[in-house]
Structure 1
Amino acid sequence: MNFASLPDRRAALDPDGAAVSDGRQSLTNTQLLDRVRAAARQLQDLGIGPGDVVALKLTNRIEFVLLLFAAWRIGATITPVNPSMTDVEVDRQVKDSGARLLVVEDRAAPVTDGTAVLAVGALYKEGVRSDHAPHVDSSALALLIYTSGTTGVPKGVMLDHANIDAMTEMGRLSLDIGPADRCLLILPLFHVNGIVVSILTPLLAGASVVIAGRRFDPRSFFDLVEQERPTFFSAVPTIYGMLAALPDDVRPDTSSLRFGVCGAAPASAELLNRFEARYGFPLVEGYGLSEGTCGSTINPVAGLRRAGTVGLPFPGQEIRIVDAEGTEVGPGTDGEVLVKGPNVMRGYLGRPEETARVIVDGWLHTGDVGHLDAEGYLTLVGRSKDMIIRGGENIYPKEIEDVLTGDPSVLEAAVIGVPDEKWGEVVVAYIQPRPGVTVDLTALRELCARSLTGFKRPTEFFVVEAIAKNAVGKIDKASLRAAHVAAS
């Protein structure tokens, strides 16, 4: 299924069926097709055609979806831009991607030479009686997703239509999504997770989508669930942690929800189990990255879910664990996680050498460290770049973070390595308390003493109001380490 023609198919199969809404407007399948055709005509009027790149600097709103399908309809590519970026960052992405058009909330936006700017409020709304057939080409570039930049200057991940077609079909099968489903989008649309899991996969399956237009607020989230009656949504561990920390008297009606997807960062087994026990629906934890078009493993919705693991490979994907020499290791042995499948990116835009370093013989080298069990479930232990080496001992922060978040006073924990003259590095923990709760550091040290061997125990604990995150909700350890060193 090529997404350039999906609006046509939905309108033909179920003209009056619900497609997408965002709190301001709601579109049926026929209305979605009409609006996509109108937007495609406007892009053509602005000189956009096959192979051109359109940048979307938009908050979560229905027009993002319209422009996504409109660009694909005429053979163009979309690069989503984080709306909170500075003008310098926006200019860098626009230039690197070669975008010919930048769509913004209003006209107060930087203008790059050769790039036109369109205010989203000026988007055509009137349909056209006829238009050209959708541009269907599986090798055409669909998305340019820029990495978060925590490991350097952001790189453009090139995903073609074959990538997203494969990934969404894998997601549809693994999550058992069908026309009766309704997805609530709460993650940002400038990230591949929001686009693939919460927009494209449900629309492919004949389901409908509700876009939460306002910023996530744990205090009002379940009001939205009760109002919109979604059957699933996707979020990050930080969000699930905030929801799990709501006062005990918050008892929402969650009967419409079949499951929640948990991804983007590892979650502790304690959080997943506690959340399900309280709210009555399971969280299925998965794992993936932009270079793999979002997802590579997922715990089954119907089947054995192993909390603390990130599940089994999606159908059509392979996972290998290799040691430092590139030799495959057996179950239970930690090594780098490699991924292979039709979801693996085409490469990094304009960076052939970096592409060749991370994709070798079709295998994507993720930089993540983990192990497989005998049944093929993947457990992550950390990022290779986050590994702490103390006196020659390798330490992966996630093991320590899982221990710390097992304390009922801890909402989140971030463990980093900091320079030390004697040991090279030592372990330091940053702790964010649950709302209204005081962290007992003595109890935390005792918990670590019971659960961790001596060299893994944090030498210092820092209690903070909030732990630094990047734009997609992952703990930003690079900035945490930099701030710690600067303050030392």
Structure 2
Amino acid sequence: MPDWTSPAYTAAEMDRYHAAGWWSQTTLSDAVRRNAQRSPDKVGYRDYLGSTALTWREFDTAADELAGRLAGAGVSPGDRIAVWHRDSAAIHVLFVALERCGAVVVGIGARAGLREVNAILTASQSKLLITDQQHHAGAGGLGIEVLSIEALGAEIGVPGPQLGPDDVFLINSTSGTTGLPKCVVHTQNRWHYFHQLAVANGRLSADDVFLPIIPTPFGFGLWTSHTTPIHLGVTAVLLDRFSAAATCAAIAEHRVTVLCCVSTQLTMMMADPASREYDLSSLRVVFTGGEALPYRPAAEFEELTGATILQFYGSNETGVLSGTTLDDPLERRLRTGGRIVGDMAVRLFDGDAEVTDTGRGQPACRGPATSLGYLGGTDHDKLFTADGWMRMGDICEIDAEGYLSVTGRTSDFILRGGKNISAAQVEDAVMTHPAIAVAAAVAMPDEVFGEKVCVFVELADVELVGNGTLELSDLVEYLLGLGVSKELLPERLVVVDELPRSSGGKIAKGQLREQVSR
């Protein structure tokens, strides 16, 4: 179809990725059938707070039955079917059933608002919206046929042919912090490559028990709750909605070995007393990313649980550029995004000028992990360089040993008196304070300097501050005592009960900027 056109990779590159074994000839649907044959009675997906626990045989049977009902409802190969559904075993059965129908999933985050949902439906030209009961009532005015899985008719059609591993199987949205989302186009194989890398870096096996707590339709959530659990044939425990206490309880009850979360969720867990009340010793590996990882709570989490935290650096669009491994030392694992992945070519740019030899700039990549870009080529002139390399929105440094560190976002600098101040560096400094659980630094308008540094924080432990809150003067004094550069000192401090989150689970800095501007 015309809107799949992308400069992401050529036919020759695709052939090379297959020849190298980076891409597979089989699909997720094939892997489900294999799991049903090899481990029919093993639980594949379990809803932690619900009653559903599907063995791989039951999962395969349910996907076949649902594919027939979808075909009976008119779902045909090439159709785009939007899914607005809470995280549960049912959504993974639905994804595989749609794959068996040859249809493309349009994934919408469970926490998305109607404005965002409408924008995705319009951009993707979806034929049908499938919801759970929680979202069904709110979807009535969207101008599209809306069905729940339970409401699909009993008529059974002939589904398929199913999608192939290089076909487009998913359109999801960016989980960015500002503005309306763009639609990102995915093949299964670009996530299969990421899956293989994760297995190697974390030494994963079918004996692991996964707990992915990132929303399913987004990139990080997709490979940790759908791609890797299915390809490995593990048991995955799913939470309807993240909370620190529920996460800790699920780890303890099901002896979870692999936790997958964004950095903010990890810091929230360490800030919650539940992390000390439950036995988390079963954890072996924690995959995290999506945002800068504060060193102090991460190191404390490793000490508390005995688990090893692994970071990846990449995005929904680019996949993975770098990653840490179990063999990397603590400082490298917690203070960098890991070594550049050898199979992914990475270059650094300063504007349009390549500056790889300086070790600092905006990274761009080309390789087997990248998506096809944005649906319809929207903003491809911004996403891709002139010669087809996909850009990240960050400023990074790559050292002599190939380790990558993010120093800030191209759009996440605070311009104070002509000086660029990295919001990420401010947040990392502020997060060293033992009373602070989560921090977000944004620009605050100022008549003299243009912008100043404003920091929003969630407190971890009010007992660590004198009057139940944290004063700006106390925070500044603490940071000066650590020798933090004065340019990184906050000039306004706002203590909140909970920072706003985007539908992808990241801190919604756009809302904070609007608040501080007012």
Same fold (TM over 0.5): yes
Residue 407 of structure 1 and its aligned partner are, at CA, apart by 0.9
Q: CA RMSD in A?
A: 2.5
2:184 is paired with a residue of what secondary structure?
strand
Checking the alignment, whether the CA contact within 8 Å between 1:198 and 1:233 is kept in structure 2 is: no
Q: Are the structure 2 counterparts of residues 376 and 64 from structure 1 closer, same or farther at C-alpha, using a change threshold of 3 Å?
A: same
2:335 is paired with a residue of what secondary structure?
coil
Residue 440 of structure 1 and its aligned partner are, at CA, apart by 4.8
The residue number in structure 2 matching 1:395 is 421
Q: 1:7 aligns with which of 7, 17, 32?
A: 32
Checking the alignment, whether the CA contact within 8 Å between 2:163 and 2:169 is kept in structure 1 is: no
Structure 1 residues without counterparts, runs of 5 or longer: none
1:350 is paired with a residue of what secondary structure?
helix
Q: 1:428 aligns with which of 454, 459, 462?
A: 454
Alpha-carbon separation, structure 1, partners of 2:449 and 2:311? 35
The residue number in structure 1 matching 2:502 is 470
The residue number in structure 1 matching 2:326 is 301
Alpha-carbon separation, structure 1, partners of 2:153 and 2:46? 18
Give the fraction of aligned pairs with identical amino acids, expressed as a percent. Answer: 27
The residue number in structure 1 matching 2:186 is 159
Residue 387 of structure 1 and its aligned partner are, at CA, apart by 0.9
The residue number in structure 1 matching 2:151 is 122
Residue 445 of structure 1 and its aligned partner are, at CA, apart by 0.9
The residue number in structure 2 matching 1:16 is 41
Q: Are the structure 2 counterparts of residues 172 and 362 from structure 1 closer, same or farther at C-alpha, using a change threshold of 3 Å?
A: farther
The reply on whether 1:453 has 2:476 as its aligned counterpart is: no
2:207 is paired with a residue of what secondary structure?
coil
1:380 is paired with a residue of what secondary structure?
strand
The residue number in structure 2 matching 1:416 is 442
Alpha-carbon separation, structure 1, partners of 2:508 and 2:391? 21
Q: Are the structure 2 counterparts of residues 419 and 398 from structure 1 closer, same or farther at C-alpha, using a change threshold of 3 Å?
A: same
Alpha-carbon separation, structure 1, partners of 2:34 and 2:342? 25
1:51 is paired with a residue of what secondary structure?
coil
The reply on whether 1:53 has 2:85 as its aligned counterpart is: no
Aligned-partner residue type, residue 452 of structure 1: V
Q: Are the structure 2 counterparts of residues 87 and 454 from structure 1 closer, same or farther at C-alpha, using a change threshold of 3 Å?
A: closer
Checking the alignment, whether the CA contact within 8 Å between 2:215 and 2:221 is kept in structure 1 is: yes
Checking the alignment, whether the CA contact within 8 Å between 2:340 and 2:346 is kept in structure 1 is: yes
Alpha-carbon separation, structure 1, partners of 2:484 and 2:357? 25
The residue number in structure 2 matching 1:206 is 233
Checking the alignment, whether the CA contact within 8 Å between 1:323 and 1:329 is kept in structure 2 is: no
Alpha-carbon separation, structure 2, partners of 1:151 and 1:412? 19
Aligned-partner residue type, residue 441 of structure 1: L
TM-score by length of 1: 0.91
Q: 1:257 aligns with which of 271, 279, 283?
A: 283
Q: How many residues align?
A: 480
Checking the alignment, whether the CA contact within 8 Å between 1:51 and 1:141 is kept in structure 2 is: no
Higher RCO by CA contacts (8 Å cutoff, separation 6 or greater): 2
The residue number in structure 1 matching 2:308 is 282
- Greater CA deviation, 180-189 or 84-93? 84-93
Q: Are the structure 2 counterparts of residues 255 and 457 from structure 1 closer, same or farther at C-alpha, using a change threshold of 3 Å?
A: closer
Q: Are the structure 2 counterparts of residues 125 and 207 from structure 1 closer, same or farther at C-alpha, using a change threshold of 3 Å?
A: farther
Q: For 1:226-257, what per-residue CA distance to the aligned partner results, in whole angstroms no more than 9, with x for missing partners?
A: 21111101112222122212339924322321
Aligned-partner residue type, residue 307 of structure 2: F
Residue 393 of structure 1 and its aligned partner are, at CA, apart by 1.7
Alpha-carbon separation, structure 1, partners of 2:114 and 2:142? 14
Residue 192 of structure 1 and its aligned partner are, at CA, apart by 2.3
The residue number in structure 2 matching 1:443 is 474
Q: Are the structure 2 counterparts of residues 131 and 254 from structure 1 closer, same or farther at C-alpha, using a change threshold of 3 Å?
A: farther
- Greater CA deviation, 35-44 or 439-448? 439-448
The reply on whether 1:271 has 2:297 as its aligned counterpart is: yes
Checking the alignment, whether the CA contact within 8 Å between 1:229 and 1:256 is kept in structure 2 is: yes
Residue 125 of structure 1 and its aligned partner are, at CA, apart by 9.8
TM-score by length of 2: 0.86
